[in-house]
Amino acid sequence: MHGVFAEFSLLLLMAAGAGAVSLWLRQPVLIAYIVIGIVAGPAVLGLVTAHEQIDLLAQVGIAVLLFVVGLKLDLKHIRHIGPVAVATGLGQLTFTIVIGFLIILAMGKGWVEALYVAVALTFSSTIIIVKLLSDKREIDSLHGRIAVGFLIVQDLAVVVAMMVMSALRADGEDGSLLALAGSLSMRIGVAVVGMYLLMRYVLPRVVDRMAQSQELLLIFAIAWGTGLAALGEWAGFSKEAGAFLAGFSLASTHYRDAINARLTGIRDFLLLFFFIDLGAKLDFSTLGSEVWPAMALSLFVLIGNPLIVMAIMGYMGYRKRTGFLCGLTVAQISEFSIIFVAMGISLGHIDNGALGLTTLVGLITIAVSTYMILYSHPLYEKLGHWLSLFERKRPHRELAVATERHDLREADVIVFGLGRYGSRLALSLKEAGLKVLGVEFDPEVVRDMRRQGLPVRYGDGIASEFLESLPLKQTHWVVSTLPDIASNRDLLRGLRELHFAGEVAVVARDESDGAALKQMGATTVLYPMRNAVDYAVESLTAIIHPKEHMI
């Protein structure tokens, strides 16, 4: 087959196959796309010839990505970012930039390249982290909320970095640093005033008119994003900064969720070509010399970033377990890191060697950190006793609720895990007249449940010392709504070691998890999704056929 269309079709088929393999390996698909670019590129098979077309799609994909990031940053949401997220985000950014810059300089790199790569090392992938936490049902946990908070801080930082670096173009603009700073400030000021006027007086009316048709709203969103991207480049910033501002300008409208939902698939499709193009353009003649520097920087990201997060959170009064789980979410660099360095190449600040180095670090850290997050709880069990350095003698932010005694000396039921399902279950059992004691590790949830009148003990339900403190001898039932099978296994083992004589009910996602939990000793297995569907079917049947249902 010949021609651009046939080439695109083949690349899509290869990407789909590689993506399926990456899902089987539990890896983000962007790694598979880069690998396909390498395999299809001149280094291996030499299949990629439509460089201009792929590059154009890649640029549009980057613009759409930054547009979607800006679209999610509603001012109301930004105002509610907690102090711990701000402190952790800024602290990690500062530490990584300073130490990373010194390490890269020691490797013999120039200061401009060292600055670009050091800044790139600070950004973690919001898309990957949110996906992994959602799959583990930990997005609403204490460490999940904190992690999402400082990921938002990082998203803001990457846009500021892009605007600053793009304003310092290497196109002959000489002059003093003071003159450059003045020029940058003036351009930013004009952009801020212009965006305010558009958001205040123009965009609400335009978007209301466009929203009369969903198809037209989608076309307008893409046109607005790419249009401001082009305008941003013309104004002396970059396409990326312009696309972000385009999304941000629509973030406060009523249609942001509808636009975001329709753009997500388009974003993922177009970014496929960015990563394929990236893999195809990697220069393997120079890449070999970057392997050892990439390994060193990967270890710095995988170990150094989590350590600084744990240190900051420990200082702010959080337990080592919370700090550890939060720290793992910054143990990789993101697609923004690669885009940021690619922007530096397009501006003439650095050469392709920096992009190869950053890409290698991205491949290593994303692959390794994915498994670190997936197996975070078993990993903490092995490393927890070494992490006491990152915890105060009295972690006041979490222990404040532990000193309040609102529990029972005896209970009919102890419910472990008070998330959305567990809290509703515990409160309903209490309303049914049973003596219910809740157990939860998230201090905010503990306070909320106590305000609703539920006796709650604060602590880690899988820790044997904590289990010994519970009134298990006077309890008839233990119900676990813990989110993962590993935690339930540890709980069942702990109950068995304490010779718990009552019944144990455990929540499971599917039949295979339920069978495994049964083998571990669970008396009853609860399937929330299946039970909810059964209840919904029964309720709808009663509405649709009321007479038959009565019979």
Q: Where are the alpha helices (DSSP H) in 401-527?
A: 420-431, 443-451, 464-468, 485-497, 511-520
Pick from 362, 388, 414: which residue ends a domain? 388
- Residue 307 CA: distances (Å) to CA of 114, 226, 300, 498: 22, 39, 10, 35
Pick from 388, 420, 450: which residue ends a domain? 388
In a domain, 366, yes or no: yes
pLDDT under 70: residue ranges of the chain: 1-2, 73-82, 140, 166-184, 187-188, 236-237, 283-288, 396-409, 461-465, 547-551
pLDDT of residue 172: 44
In a shared domain, residues 153 and 298: yes
Ranges assigned E (strand) in 59-147: none
Radius of gyration for the chain, computed over Cα atoms and rounded to the nearest angstrom: 26
Of 125, 129, 24, 144, the closest CA to residue 483 belongs to: 144
Give me 265's structure tokens. 């698939």
Of 256, 263, 272, 267, the closest CA to residue 219 belongs to: 263
In a shared domain, residues 494 and 516: yes
Domain range holding 131? Answer: 4-388
DSSP 438: E
Q: CATH number of the domain that 472 lies in?
A: 3.40.50.720
Q: Where are the alpha helices (DSSP H) in 375-463?
A: 376-383, 396-399, 420-431, 443-451
Q: What residues contact residue 532 under an 8 Å CB cut-off, 6+ apart?
A: none
- Please answer whether residues 463 and 481 qualify as being in contact, where contact means their C-beta atoms are separated by less than 8 angstroms: no
Q: What are phi and psi of 175, to 5 degrees?
A: 125, 175
In a shared domain, residues 34 and 96: yes
In a shared domain, residues 96 and 244: yes
Q: What residues contact residue 219 under an 8 Å CB cut-off, 6+ apart?
A: none
pLDDT of residue 171: 45
pLDDT of residue 50: 78
- Please answer whether residues 138 and 108 qualify as being in contact, where contact means their C-beta atoms are separated by less than 8 angstroms: no
pLDDT of residue 303: 92
Split into its structural domains, the chain has a count of 2
Identity (one letter) of the amino acid at 251? Answer: A
Other beta carbons within 10 angstroms of residue 444's beta carbon come to: 13
- Please answer whether residues 85 and 146 qualify as being in contact, where contact means their C-beta atoms are separated by less than 8 angstroms: yes
Query: How many whole angstroms separate alpha carbon 127 and alpha carbon 384?
Result: 28
Query: How many whole angstroms separate alpha carbon 551 and alpha carbon 540?
Result: 16
Pick from 388, 419, 438: which residue ends a domain? 388
In a shared domain, residues 261 and 300: yes
In a domain, 339, yes or no: yes
pLDDT of residue 296: 92
In a shared domain, residues 338 and 460: no
The string of DSSP codes covering 133-171 is HHHTT-TTSHHHHHHHHHHHHHHHHHHHHHHHHHHS-SS
pLDDT of residue 80: 55
In a domain, 395, yes or no: no
In a domain, 394, yes or no: no
Q: CATH number of the domain that 115 lies in?
A: 1.20.1530.20
Tell how strand 456-458 and strand 413-416 pair up. unpaired
In a shared domain, residues 328 and 447: no
In a shared domain, residues 444 and 382: no
In a shared domain, residues 377 and 411: no
In a shared domain, residues 205 and 353: yes
In a shared domain, residues 181 and 306: yes
In a shared domain, residues 178 and 299: yes
In a domain, 292, yes or no: yes
In a domain, 396, yes or no: no
